[in-house]
Every structure is written in C-alpha cells, then in structure tokens.
Chain A
Amino acid sequence: MDDIAVRFEHVSMAFPGVLANDDVSLDIRRGEVFALVGENGAGKSTLMNVLYGIHAPTDGRVFINGRELTDHSPKAAIGLGVGMVHQHFMLVPSFTVAQNIVLSREPRRGRVFFDNAAARRKTLALAEEYGLEVDPDAAVEELSVGLQQRVEILKTLYRGAEILILDEPTAVLTPQETEELFAVIRRVVREKRMTVVIITHKLYEVLAISDRVGVMRKGALVGVRDTAQVDEQTLASMMVGRPMLYDKLEKTGTPGEVMIEVKDLTVRDNRGLVAVDKLSLSVRAGEVLGIAAVEGNGQSELLEAVTGMRKAESGAVTICGHDATGLDPGAIRALGLAHVPEDRLSTGVSRDATVTDNLLTGRHREKRFNRFGFHQRTSTIERYAREIYEKFDIRGSGTDVPVGDLSGGNMQKVVIAREFSFDSPVLVVAQPTRGVDVGAIEFIHRQIIDRRNQGCAILLCSADLDEVFRLSDRIVTLYEGKITGEFTGEFSKDEIGLCMTGGQRDKEAAS
C-alpha cells in the first residue's frame, strides 16, 4: 500500500434524489497524474469533494497515504496531505499574493501580529522551490486567471499538500496558460513526487498530461486505463456509453420553413471572453435541432443571445422571419418564441411566488385575465392555473403554494407547462430534464416531440447526450463557440463525442 496515495473503497454518495457516486473503488498511485473524465453530472467533482472531506460519503471508505479519512472535513484531509484547487477560486481579492498563500496559517510576530515580511519570505521560498514564479506583493484581484490559479496551487503547497486535486483547471485558461500549467504539473510530479488528480472534459488534455485515466458515467467508475493505451475515440465512447432504453418516440411530418436563423453570431460571456464565435445555424418548423457540447463551450451564451437574455456583439438573429437582434426577451417572445431556460431556479421560476403566479407570467396581460385591462380576474386566473397544473401532471400541494416548495422535477414541469402552453411556433429548450426523475423525463420528452410534430421549430440543448440523441432530428456539436460538426440520420455517437471535445478540430488543423 506504500505506493498508493489515495484509495477509494466502495464509496457511494447520495444526495436527496440523486446517487452522485455509485460504489466507486479506485487506487491512485503516488507520483502519477491521474485524469478523471466524464460528462457533466457524472460524479467526478463529488468524488473529489469526498476525498477533500467536503462530503462525508454515504457508504464506503477513503484512505489517504494509507490512513483512513475518518473525520470528514477539509481540515482533516489537508492534514493528511490533500490539497484542492476548485473551479471557482477561493481567494481574497483585495489581499496580496503572500497574504492569500499564508491565510489560515499566518506567520505571527509575538503570537498576535501578522508578520508580513515572513509571509513574503515564505512565499518567495515556496515559489522558488517549485518553480512557480509569483509577485508576493501583487493584489490577487489584479492578477490574470492563470496567475490566480498559480496562487491557489501555492496555497495548497504551503499547507503541505502531497496530493493535488485540480477541478477543471483549464476551463478558465488560455492555451498558453494551459501549457504553463501542464509544465508545472509535470515538474511537481517529477521533482517532488507529488500526486496530481485532474478533472477535465477535454480529452486531448487527458492524453497530453496524464499517466492513467478513469472514466465516470452516471456516478459509476466505468473503467481505468493507462493513458498510453487509449485514444480519444475510446475515451469518448466510454464517456457516452450505450443509450438508455426508452420507448421509441414517433416522429411525423417533414420540416417546413426556417423559423430560427442565426447568422455570424458572436457573443461574449460574463468575463468578456468570446463564447460564441461567428456562429451560424438555422432551425426549420417541425424540426428539433440538438446542440451537443460540453459545458462552457458557448451553448449557454448562444441560447441566451437567441432569446434576448444576453446582448450579442455582432451578427443577426431572425425569429419567424423577423429580425430579433438586440431585442429584449419580451419583444422576442412577442415574435413567437417560448423559452425553457437552463437554470430553472435563477431564471425559470420565482421561488417565492405561488404556482399560479408562475404559470401565469407572460400571459398576465391577456384580456381574459383582466377586467378593464388592469384589474386581475383572480378566479379566472386560478381556474386557468389549475387546468394547466392538471394537464401537465404537476404534483405538489396545489396551485396556492410557493413554487419553491415543489420538488425539482415538478418545478421543471411548471416551467415546461408555462412555456409549452404558449403554443408558440418557436421553442428554445435548455436542459429540459436536469435533475428530473425518470418518469418525468419521459413525460417531458413526449411533450417536446408532440410540439415538434405539431410543426414547432425547436432548438434543444442538453448536457445529457442520450437526451440530445433521442429527441433531435439534427445535431450540431459546439466546441469553443464554433460548430465542429453536423449530424443527421444515422450517426456515430463516438464521432459526436469526439467533435464535442475538440477532436475533429485538431484533426482538421493537422490535415
């Protein structure tokens, strides 16, 4: 057991309604770079959070350097030599680099006063030792993301980490910064015999940096391979897996006119980076266009730009033949679009408002709900809400309770019910079944296909690939804001998986 840095023994982790880790057993060797890959929600981060002591596993045991992690807290895990760099950095923006690094274990003068000079000295020594150059006096908020990440790594090293967990470290980095990070990883592994676990979506990175790779799907570890013996193709098919067995959905009719047209659209994300890059696509009436992409490749920004939630930088969006570029969501809805947003809690519902109020939004100005155009007809509204509530089989304690009291699946049904009942010619649907139980998934899928068969143009985006495969007539893959492939009819899932992870793009560049 001496060269085993981390051992998971039958670890399971259940959250209310979800089994995030399902009986995972895994050994990670000392001095190796171990990559953990899988789709969103496959349970990678959960497993690492168990290792870092954030979650106490519902079942199973975790050993770090041969010692069992019994007290499940980050403090205990850090004590056993684990360090974790989260996707969202945990730094104090206004503090200097040195202050951030020594935080929680500050050098003191006379046991009371913070010793800034010692903090600087220690930072410089540490930076020297690991070859991670930083300016100890710079305020963290002024550093680039890549340097902030470096500060995070130094922080874990300062606390004596021998096992370093990096949760999607390259998601926020430029290609050059990624290269630098990889150089750092190789150095600490070679020279300090550290163990690095890296969570990622990008398969070529796995091949570039790791010694071994573990693939997770739906909470379970489906395989561990030596990186030298796999290629992107194999990993992609392991990740995607076999499709779940559902009843076949009957699709009828032929596609009609173009209802959604996106032309040369460029959109920036919240950080000001280009998220959607001169992208063009179109969706016809009676057609479902599915977007397959790993999270963070511009699909959210694309959908937000089409629906008016985000301003596009350039390019044009046409909905039902009308120019919709730069309009607000209200105006775009008036053109005939309804929208199921990807995040139901922040965008799809008002948690404190009643189910009735949530079902009514968007049509509350309709004549039938208002006397004299302004006085709400409470009883008509309540009757309408109850009707929709029953039609969409929403289960809860009635229409009078706040939506926040419903379960996730039923909350999603409220969103679906409201948006689908507009009978709009265009639907934009993001993550329709995220966190929804199997029965409800089937129901929601049927609703989507019903609308399609009635001639609605549907733009669908989901992190669940099986869902995209099942519902779409046509699939485009997005990678770093660009379309990397388009698939109709019979297509190979492995090929789609490859395009999603930038595989094809690299090949194209090579040829």
Chain B
Amino acid sequence: MKKKRDWGYLGSLCISVLLAFVIGAVILAVAGFSPVKAYAAMASGAFSSARHIGDFLEYAMVLCLTGLACVLGSRVGIFNVGGEGQLLLGAVVGCQVGVWLNGQSPWLAIPAAALAAMAVGAFYALIPGWLKVKVKVNEVITTIMLNTIAASLCQYLAKGPWKNPNKNMVAATAQLDPRYWFKTLIPGSNLSTAIIAAAVVTFLTWYVMQKTSTGYEMKLTGQNPRFAFFSGIKTDRIVLACMCISGAMCGLVGMFRVYGAEHLYRSSVSNQYYFEGLTVAMIARYDPVTVIGLSFLFAILKIGAQGMELSAGVPNQIYLIIQTVVIFCMAAESGVFASLRAGAQRKKARADIRRKEEESHV
C-alpha cells in the first residue's frame, strides 16, 4: 500500500555503489593496475558485443529469479538459504526427464521437465519448511545442510545412474535432444527464450506478493506471525506454501540453466548462483522491484569483470570485492540510521518526562 519510492534507500544505494567503485579503484591501483583502464575493460566486457549483452541478460535472469525466491521466503519470515540445493536438484531431475522422454514432442518434454524440476525443488524446500512449522527447527541450519546433501546427490546421479554414455564426460548426464533446447536469442551467448518464461514468472511473483489478498496475508505472517494467526490467517499453511513456491522457482532456474545454456546437467549449471541471488535480495531489502533492478546491475558487473579479466588481465575477483563493499555499506547505513533514530527517541522521552514534571509541579 505504499506508493512513494524510498528515496533515502535509493540515495544510500547509489552512494554505496559509488563508494564500492572507489574502494575497488584503490585496490586496483595498489595491485598495480590502472583503475581507469580496468573499469573501461569492465564496461566493454559487458557491452562491447551482443554476445556479452546476451550473457549478462541471462545471468540477470538467474539472479532475479533466485533473488525473488529468497524474497518470497522472507515475506513470510523464513530465510531460505537452501535455494542452491533446490536449484541443482531441479536441474538434474529436469534434465533427466528430458533424457527419458527422448523422441517425444518438445511440447510434451519441456513442460514435463519444467514441472518435474519445480516439483522436486518444492519438495526439497518443503522439508525445512515442515520442520520449521511443526517442530520449530531453525530453517537456516536445515537449508544449509540440505544444500550439501543435494550437491552430493546430484554429483552421484551424474556420475552414477544417470551418467553420460560418453566415457570422456565425467560427472555429467546425457545431453538433451537439441529439439528440446530453448532457442538461443543471441548467437554465441547463453541468452535463450527461457528469459521470456522467466519474465512471466517474475511478473507473477511480483503480482501475487504486491497486489493480491494472498500477498497481504503473506506480508502479515512475516511481520508478526502471532498477530496473523490471531486475526484468523492460517499461518502454517501460508509458510509452507511460500516455501514450496520458493523451492519450485529455484528448481525452475536449474531447469532453465540446463535447457537454455548447458544442455546437459553438470555442476557448472550453478556456481553458487542462488547465494548471489540471495545477496541481491538482501541488498534490495527484500523488495521485489528493487531485486529486479539490482539483478541487472550485478549481472553487468559480473559479466563485465569476466571480460575485464580476459582483456586487461585483472582478476575478476574485483567483482566480489565491489559486491561485498556494497553489502557492507548498506548494512552500515541501516545501522547508522537506526542509532541516530534511537538517539532522537531517547531525547524526546527525556524531554517528555521533564515537561510532565514541570506540569505536575504547577
């Protein structure tokens, strides 16, 4: 119900990003690189060719979907750190469904794979959700541990039962029939028609969260679960549903990665991508629209940094430094504001007492 943009937030975000670039520049200079040349290489790494633009758009899609999955959990008061596992499982199962259905029409195989990936992601998120709701087990711990299990399970499947028939391929499943691949939109890049599906999913998530009475119930549940329960909302059911949808979205991202870019399952379908999405969600303070915007920014930085490494020889870890400094500044910003506000409140309370005292003496 708020229409005004939060200008204070936008301002401090801009300052944080600028500061991050400045600190990045200092580090580059200390390391013996020219910051100007490095940043120029970064910009051209992201924008110089259609292929790079395609790559950063694809990565923005991944960040946006995983970030929104995280926002969805946080909306009902759950911190889903298990998206990486849900993503990997969605990727491997989605891929294998495609392999099994080999020869069938793509109109059957692709929806079946998407549904399977979503189902497995949802199920994998349901486990910690259920533990949280029924036995009050902290979801952060369970989801982190489930990540490790999922990663190992996927490795096992890709090396064992679902192994690629080609002996030279280690730890990968069989390749999908090219008919099932999402059509590449920019030749040579990872960008495929999956981004259209992703845009639809993004819109739906935003719509449900911001515009519907279900989103309203989610918000109340996250803000004060006791109040939500008190006012008649079935909070357990909402938390479980959100957890499932969050997991399903992660599973779907895995499937998009396989059908759009990798065309078979191997561990490179995700290199801790969920955690980068989670970072974006945190910087965006779990606001869906901001997540969408920031996904593009961080995708540009990441792909640009890779280009910079190739052309200027600057290690792409500079991307991580910039990202970390932004997080750091944003966290510090809220801390600084909170302490300023608390100080003002204390002052006001003291003045109130003094005024009351004076009145009572009159």
Binding site for B on A (CB under 8 A): 12, 14-17, 19, 58-59, 307, 309, 328-330, 333-334, 339, 341, 346-354, 356-357, 360-362, 364-365, 369-370, 374-376, 378, 381-382, 400
Contacts and interface: CB of A to CB of B under 8 A. Distances in A.
Question: Considering the complex of A and B, which 6 residue pairs feature the smallest CB-CB distances, nearest first?
Answer: A330-B232, A361-B231, A350-B224, A350-B223, A14-B353, A333-B232
A382 B231 CA distance: 19
A329 B353 contact: no
A14 B356 contact: yes
B333 interface: no
Contacts of A58: 353, 357
Contact of A378 (B1, B229, B360): B1
B1 A357 contact: yes
Nearest to A353: B223
B113 interface: no
Interface string B231-258: 1111000000000000000000000000
Nearest to A352: B223
Given A374-B213, A381-B1, 12 more contacts: A12-B357, A328-B232, A333-B231, A347-B227, A350-B227, A352-B224, A353-B220, A354-B2, A361-B233, A370-B213, A374-B212, A376-B211
A486 B233 CA distance: 36
Contact of A329 (B212, B214, B217, B231): B231
16 contacts: A12-B360, A14-B357, A58-B353, A59-B357, A329-B229, A333-B231, A346-B227, A349-B227, A351-B223, A352-B223, A361-B233, A362-B231, A370-B213, A376-B211, A378-B1, A400-B2
A351 B226 CA distance: 12
Q: Which of B220, B231, B356: most chain A Cβ within 10 A?
A: B231
B2 A16 contact: no
Nearest to A341: B230
Interface of B is mostly: helix
Nearest to A22: B360
Interface of B: 1-2, 211-214, 216-217, 219-220, 223-224, 226-234, 349, 352-353, 356-357, 360
Contact of A348 (B2, B223, B227, B349): B227
Contacts of B226: 346-347
B216 to A, nearest CB: 6
Q: Which of B217, B219, B226: most chain A Cβ within 10 A?
A: B226
A23 to B, nearest CB: 9
B357 A357 contact: no
Nearest to A59: B357
Contacts of A347: 226-227, 230
A350 B229 contact: no
B213 A357 contact: no
Nearest to B233: A330
B84 to A, nearest CB: 29
Contacts of B217: 364
A378 B357 CA distance: 45
Contact of B229 (A16, A328, A375): A328
Nearest to A355: B1
Contacts of A376: 211-213, 216
A314 B353 CA distance: 48
A14 B219 CA distance: 37
Contacts of A348: 227, 230
A15 B232 contact: no
Contacts of A351: 223-224
Nearest to B348: A16
B232 A362 contact: yes
A349 B233 CA distance: 13
Q: Which of A17, A309, A330: most chain B Cβ within 10 A?
A: A330
Q: Which of B1, B2, B234, B356: most chain A Cβ within 10 A?
A: B1
A16 B349 CA distance: 6
B230 A339 contact: yes
Contact of A357 (B212, B216, B232, B349): B216
